[in-house]
Amino acid sequence: MARLVMKFGGTSVADLDRIRNVARHVKREVDAGNEIAVVVSAMAGETNKLVGYCRGASALHDAREYDAVVSAGEQVTAGLLAITLQSLGVNARSWLGWQIPIRTDSAHGAARITDIPAETLVERFRQGQVAVIAGFQGLAPDNRIATLGRGGSDTSAVAIAAAIGADRCDIYTDVDGVYTTDPRIVPNARRLDKVAFEEMLEMASLGAKVLQVRSVELAMVHGVRTFVRSSFEDPEAPQVGPDGEPVGTLICDEDEIVEKQLVTGIAYSKDEAKITMRGVEDRPGVAAAIFGPLADASINVDMIVQNISEDGRTTDITFTVTTADFDRAMALIESLRSTVRMETVSGSSDVAKVSVIGIGMRSHAGVAAQAFQALAGRGINIQLITTSEIKISVLIDAAYTELAVRTLHSIYELDKT
């Protein structure tokens, strides 16, 4: 017997047929003797519709009212899944955020979970009842509904798994796991059986869209073993691997990964823009004078590189932002010319970031050099480099993205088991 959280996203509950399919997945786990909490998203398209209503009602809408409106989607799915489970003979009831309650801070629209009392849920498990929990929502200190921001249902699932001490949090989605890279670019990309939390965090933030970054952070902090698997498998007899375990990717502590790969995956993101300031006066505090105002404007800066210029008295600074922030960031930098002397400012959104990720890098030198050499061999110019303990990222011309991903995927032999 195990205690499991099962999370189903919007496409998995898009209509009554798919909800019935979800109910059969749940019934399989119940029949196997497990204690189950299910977390559901809104039916595909519903959240967008409700968000559209709020925007249509007023461009500057009260986040508390937005939360009341938008949370209705998950409420509907939770009730419908409970009804469907009951019709299959499974003892189930729906739980809304305010009923448990899933307590959050007061940041309506993008709240963080602060506490989930688990006693009642656990008591119901003992009585054989499945908890069907509306994802994405909680109760703020003002006794009003708070939503967790986009992708919040993953975060709900992981937080609930931590609260109830679940053995595993199963994220059912429209792919069957986490891959060494995007299979649309590299057809022989391989599904990973296990990924360490740290690696997944890098992959999630670098554009692999399987899991929200916040939910991976939370899973890492609380050590929640998170299993990504497909909701489109046969619910009564899901495919198993050679080890007899269901097909999917387990995101877990690196201690649980016996054979550590040098490199686990290649991630990429085209949602990047680069801004370069040349001939910036080189004095103490100049970086703060530039990046302080960007932070104040809520513009997220990712890579930063600073070089001393040829004359030794000025400096060149390059940084990247998301494409959505590009125009605002350019305008802001131009406006700084009155306080920071600089010769030229130029920018481009025609860039992409490609990253090599793997916890094995910690103990192996030469991974970076191998990457730079391989890219150079293909004639790909590297514009910026940043590295961490388990990641190397390079900024390149966006036109070379696919070539770079394929090249790196191949040199680290990621297509081989």
Binding site for a second copy (CB under 8 A): 16, 19-20, 50, 53-54, 56-58, 60-62, 64-69, 71-73, 75-76, 78-80, 82-84, 86-87, 93-94, 96, 98-99, 143-145
CB 161 within 8 A of CB 169: yes
Q: How far apart are CA 274 and CA 398, in angstroms?
A: 11
State the minimum distance, in angstroms, from the CB of residue 33 to a second copy: 24
Question: What type of residue is 133?
Answer: I
Looking at beta carbons only, is 57 or 295 nearer to a second copy?
Answer: 57
Looking at beta carbons only, is 99 or 373 nearer to a second copy?
Answer: 99
Q: How far apart are CA 29 and CA 31, in angstroms?
A: 5
Peptide bond preceding 101: is omega within 30 degrees of 0, i.e. cis?
Answer: yes
Q: Is 152 annotated as a binding residue?
A: no
Where helices occur in 297-392 by DSSP H, the ranges are: 326-335, 367-377
Q: Is 174 annotated as a binding residue?
A: yes
Q: Is 53 annotated as a binding residue?
A: no
Question: What type of residue is 187?
Answer: P
Looking at beta carbons only, is 108 or 229 nearer to a second copy?
Answer: 108
State the minimum distance, in angstroms, from the CB of residue 105 to a second copy: 19
Q: Is 9 annotated as a binding residue?
A: yes
- Can you read off the two tokens belonging to residue 257? 């990964």
CB 332 within 8 A of CB 325: no
Looking at beta carbons only, is 103 or 229 nearer to a second copy?
Answer: 103
State the minimum distance, in angstroms, from the CB of residue 174 to a second copy: 22
Which residue, 63, 58, 217, 37, is CA-closest to 135?
37
- Can you read off the two tokens belonging to residue 269? 């993101």
Looking at beta carbons only, is 62 or 174 nearer to a second copy?
Answer: 62
State the minimum distance, in angstroms, from the CB of residue 50 to a second copy: 7
State the minimum distance, in angstroms, from the CB of residue 170 to a second copy: 22
State the minimum distance, in angstroms, from the CB of residue 211 to a second copy: 27
CA distances (Å), origin 361, targets 34, 76, 202, 367, 389: 38, 46, 13, 7, 7
Q: Is 341 annotated as a binding residue?
A: no
Looking at beta carbons only, is 81 or 157 nearer to a second copy?
Answer: 81
Cα angle, residue 316 at apex, residues 312 and 317 outer, rounded to 5° = 140
Q: How far apart are CA 238 and CA 230, in angstroms?
A: 9
Q: Is 173 annotated as a binding residue?
A: yes
* Binding site residue list for ATP: 7-10, 173-174, 179, 184, 209-210
* Binding site residue list: 7-10, 47, 74, 173-174, 179, 184, 209-210
* Binding site residue list for substrate: 47, 74
